[in-house]
Amino acid sequence: MSNHPCRVARHLLIVVPAILAAQAARAEDGNVFTNIFKYGGTSVPPSQTAPLEEPYCPTVDVPEGGAALRNPPSVTGTATALRSQTTLGRLARECTRLQDGSIRVKVGIEGHVLLGPAGAPGRFEAPLTISLKSTGTVLVTRVRRVAVTVPPGAAQGLFSVIEDDLVVPAASTGNYDIEVRLGGAAPRHAPARRKPPAPTATSEAPVAVPATAE
């Protein structure tokens, strides 16, 4: 018995969508298996930002004469007039590279105040300076006053400081220093030397000055 054209057409209308659905299912299954093989899950994970380069993070430097402060400053040695001495202790730093290429630096400082022969328990303050420098130029500097209380019956008191958000510009991230010192901020540039005044012309003959041995 021959198939009637209308019956064949109706049969194709039913079969074709079924075939397309099966193909779509197989394609979907293939994507799922591919995702599991490549990403360990049934879906593609969201794109992630590439990891940033490890930042350069130098050790914290203490310049000569910046590790301790005496009170009063004029006291030297073990003079009996010394009231207290503030001294730096442990130093730490943490550096984080930012998306714009700059580096954010966090500095931690610990120290103590020790009573001298003329000292007495009480509250003591001292200036503390944290600076970032590059090739002799100060990039950023912070000056804080640390306060230490020495309780009655004790000979010393401790302090700790955390200074954050010190930023090194991207152009200086490969060559910079971290500096901590007790005392106020140092000048950004060395002061210019004064030139001696030029000699004035006179009608008198110059006076000879005997040379002296240096």
Report pLDDT digits (tens) over 40-89. 566 656 665 667 789 999 999 999 999 999 998 877 666 788 999 999 99
- pTM as predicted: 0.63
Report pLDDT digits (tens) over 163-180. 999 999 999 999 999 999
Percent of the chain, pLDDT > 70?
Answer: 61
Name the one residue in this structure whose structure tokens are 């030029």.
Answer: 198
Q: What is the secondary structure of 133-162 as a DSSP string? A: EETTEEEEEEEEEEEEEE-TT-SEEEEEEE
Instruction: Decide if domain 60-182 falls under CATH 2.40.10.
Output: no
Q: Which segments within 77-121 are labelled E, that is strand?
A: 84-97, 103-115
In the chain, CATH 2.60.40 covers 60-182
**128: part of which helix (H) or strand (E)?**
strand 122-134
Report pLDDT digits (tens) over 12-51. 445 455 555 555 544 444 455 555 555 556 665 666 566 7
